[in-house]
Amino acid sequence: MMIALFARASHTRAGSSDPSSSAYSVASKMANRSRAAAVVLAISSLCAVLSSATVTVNEPLAAGLSWSFYDASCPSVEGIVRWHVTEALRRDVGIAAGLIRIFFHDCFPQGCDASLLLSGSSSEQSELPNQTLRPEALKLIDDIRAAVHSACGPKVSCADITTLATRDAVVASGGPFFEVPLGRRDGFAPASRDLVGTLPAPFSDVPTLIESFKNRSLDTADLVALSGAHTVGRGHCGSFSDRLPPNADDTIDPVFRQKLAAKCANDPKGTVTQVLDVRTPNAFDNKYYFDLIAKQGLFKSDQGLMNHPATKRMATRFSLNQAAFFDQFSRSMVKMSQMDVLTGNAGEIRLNCAARNSRVSGLDAAGDEGLAADA
């Protein structure tokens, strides 16, 4: 295909309907340059696609999930999700980090059931760890849900759309492509405050993080790899203020610490933010681990990975070998995506990701409408 494109461009340059016309010659040269530029752009785009890392994950599947769940009922779902995510990132690159955070904050407390997407006074979104979730990312998920349901009917859950959108955001940002099993149903209720409180905090030390992940059947490799998602995104000053003066912290680069302190010195509304990866903040790569080596990890929970014997070796390996990081990250994401999932009649397919569907039992608020999960 590329040879044919070059041949076509060469043929156009050779031919001329009026060689004696200087005006035509100039116009022809300009047109040929435009075509050549288009060829180069097409080839560059193709190469970028081909060079994107693909990781094959052969993990045992949770009951009810399948690698081909929507092949018959909604074969276009992955294409629809991918298009919307790509368009959203073209307008706002920060959407990628927003989706990754939503996915993790949904799955970790009580499983990947889209309970985090439910709105209301008693929702998970009102809890402290979730108050800075990106509204644009939450809206994107429901916009994708509307497009998918328009194409296929109410066949795909918000939980599956969140999973696919997060994977595609990783890929669109330069990260690995990995297949995800599908078939999740949406939960009927938000996670409790106690469960939301199990989310790892940015000021947690490594032993606390290891124990927290262990309680969710995630191991140390999962901890180190999933923390690498901080290669994109931003943190508010309040999330790393424990590392700034007057507190003492010799695990952070003094110059970096001074810059952060100056940046956060005038933050009365708590709106000042700092990129999590100072090297390539908008690219999903392994530079986050370089930051840790340079003592420029933003959170205590990040920097600790390079300082604790249980995690230092793997964090160092990921800094030297991006393919190893991508491989483990993909495996850990697929593993986490299957935690405590609801399938079959255990959940529903929401017609609005922010609201539970009405039920025959009449237990839901009046005015809701929707469809219970198919058997």
Q: What residues act catalytically?
A: 105
Is residue 190 within 8 A of residue 123, CB to CB? The reply is yes
Tokens of 2: 């590329």
Beta carbons within 10 angstroms of residue 38's beta carbon? 12
- Calculate ∠ Cα 334-340-344, nearest 5°: 100
Cis status, amide bond into 246, omega within 30 of 0: yes
Handedness of CA 333, 96, 105, 361 (dihedral sign): negative
DSSP state, residue 373: P
370's CB contacts (< 8 A; 6+ apart) are: 154, 348, 349, 350, 351, 352, 355, 356, 357, 358
Of 93, 88, 113, residue with least CA distance to 102? 113
* Best CA proximity match to 95, nearest among 132, 136, 125, 133: 136
The answer to whether the CB of 53 falls within 8 A of the CB of 323 is: yes
Residue corresponding to tokens 């939960």: 187
As a whole number of angstroms, the distance between CA 246 and CA 249 comes to 9
3-state secondary structure 282-340: CCCCCHHHHHHHCCCCCCHHHHHHHHCCCCHHHHHHHHHCHHHHHHHHHHHHHHHCCCC
Which of 172, 149, 171, 170 has the alpha carbon at shortest distance from 161? 149
**Which of 338, 331, 336 minimizes the C-alpha distance to 176?**
331
HSE-up of residue 118 (Cα within 13 Å, Cβ side) = 24
Distance CA 145, CA 34 (A): 39
Tokens found for residue 307:
């300082």
